[in-house]
Structures are given as structure tokens and as C-alpha cells.
Amino acid sequence: MSADHSDVRAWRLDHRTPLAEGHLLGFLGSRAIAGCEAVEGRRYARSIRMPTGAPAVVEVEPDPSEPFVTMWIRGDGAPGAVERAVRRLLDLDADPGAIDATLGEDPALRSVVLSAPGMRLPGAVDGFEIAVRAIVGQQVSVAGARTTLGRIAQRFGEPLPEPLGTVVRVFPTPARLADAPRDGLGMPRARADAIVEVARAVESGELDLSGEADLTATRERLRAIRGVGAWTEEYVAMRALGDRDAFPVTDLGVRRGFRRLGLPDDERSMLEHAERWRPWRAYAVIHLWAG
């Protein structure tokens, strides 16, 4: 990836320290959708849509010694909207001191927090994309979900007018997937139906996944869609809706994390123990997944 183009503009985005950038980039890289995202070293690049709908590419790279992230935008449009999206994606407005202090009060989690101070909650530049990721990822591995998402993007995504390395297309819009043939999504019919229904709800304005709408109302509307269960709702809440206390208790990785900590891993015990992590349970989940 490279930002050596005449139409590239650069900004510096500040953040509080510390920043567990290795974990953050590792999370995004391991889930990168082929053709839409890429991670090389310390730099992450992905396609986005400007508020006008025009495609563009944004690249970000944490500074190794200063508390800021450099952001490059290649494409025309309002940089303010892109900056806000990137800040949500990288959780740059988090207060790691407060979060780590609360989670570190739990003796079972303290060493995990100390080993990765400044853990961030990976967010989204597109809430609809996160919802599709969550539905595709139901009961499949991260690698399996990534493969399916890459195929969906290749078939239904819009090619970039100017590709950047392996970033060559934009993830499909709700309008595009609202009319997608179910058998063309490459997954069980129930999940394909759920994706189409979410797409239609977002396209019609009935469902706002931008993270700006009322959280409770958005969760309720999302949950009403057939095929969207508790795990999917919590995942979308964590990454798209900015719910820093979301807790997917049914997640296998979370359960394994509890087991590694020597804690009971039945749902009731997990929920009871996680009460001490409020209001930052979603960050505890990221620590558990990282383990």
C-alpha cells in the first residue's frame, strides 16, 4: 500500500495513551475482507463511501512514539465525515486509563489487562457491513466468515475507480444486497434471508446502524429480524452501535476465555462475574478474544 499520489490528503488524529495498536491491527487484519481491506505492517487500508456515496480509500497508521494516528484519504469528499468514521473504527476517543482501571480491579482479569494496556474496541466505518459480518459469522470460524464475505464483496461490491494495492472494491450497499438472490450469498438460506432483511430495513430507514440512533430502539429493531439472535445483536452493538458494555455471553471465544482464567463458564456464572466489568464489558470481551 502506498499514499504517494497527488490526490492524497493527510491528517493526524490524536488519542489518549496507551494504545494497544498491535492487538487492534491484528483484530482488523485477521478479519479483513479480501478486496475491501488490507493490513501491511503498521498500516491499515480500506475502501469507504463518502457521504456523497462516492468511493474512496482511507489508510491509517499509528505513530510509534507520539499519541496520534496518521490518516490518509484518497478520493474527493468531506474529510470530517471520514475522520469521525476512522475515530469510531479505531476507538480513538476511548479513555484507556478509566477502562483499564475498572477491568484491572478484577483479580482474574488483572494480568490480562496489564499485558495489553490500552486495548481498544474495534468499531466500524459502516454499521451495515458489521451486521452482514455478524450474520455471516454465526457459528462459523473467523477464517470461514472471511472467505464468504470476500465472495459477497467480489460479487456484489462496486469496483474502485482507482484501486490501491489489493484494495479494489467497496463493500456492497444495503440497496445492492436488498435485491440479492439468496442462493448467490453462499450460505444457509436462513442467514441469507437475514442479510436481505437487514439490508431492506437499513435501505428503507427503518433500521439505523450508524451508531447515532437510540441504542435501545436500534437493538429492538435489529432483534426483531428473523435470523438475528442474541450473539448477532451483541456483536453489532459492540462494533457498530458503540455499546461499550455489550456482552455476547453465548460466544465460544468468550466462554473459552473464562475457562482460561479459571472461571466457571456456564452462562449464569459468566453474567454474574461480568457484572464487575461494567460499564466496560465489551473491552473485557476483546481481552478474552485476544487470549
Which residues participate in catalysis according to the annotation? Answer: 251
Contacts 24+ apart (CB under 8 A), 94-101: 94/15, 94/16, 94/120, 94/121, 94/244, 95/16, 96/16, 96/17, 96/18, 96/19, 96/120, 97/16, 99/280, 99/283
Alpha-carbon gap, residue 173 to 166, rounded angstroms = 20
Q: How many CB atoms lie within 10 A of CB 266?
A: 11
- Residue 206's Cβ-count burial label (10 Å; 0-12, 13-18, 19+) is exposed
- Cβ–Cβ under 8 Å, residues 60 and 86: yes
For the chain, what is the radius of gyration of the CA atoms?
19
Give the SS3 label for residue 69. strand
- Cβ–Cβ under 8 Å, residues 193 and 181: no
CA distances from 176 to 131, 147, 157 (A): 15, 19, 8
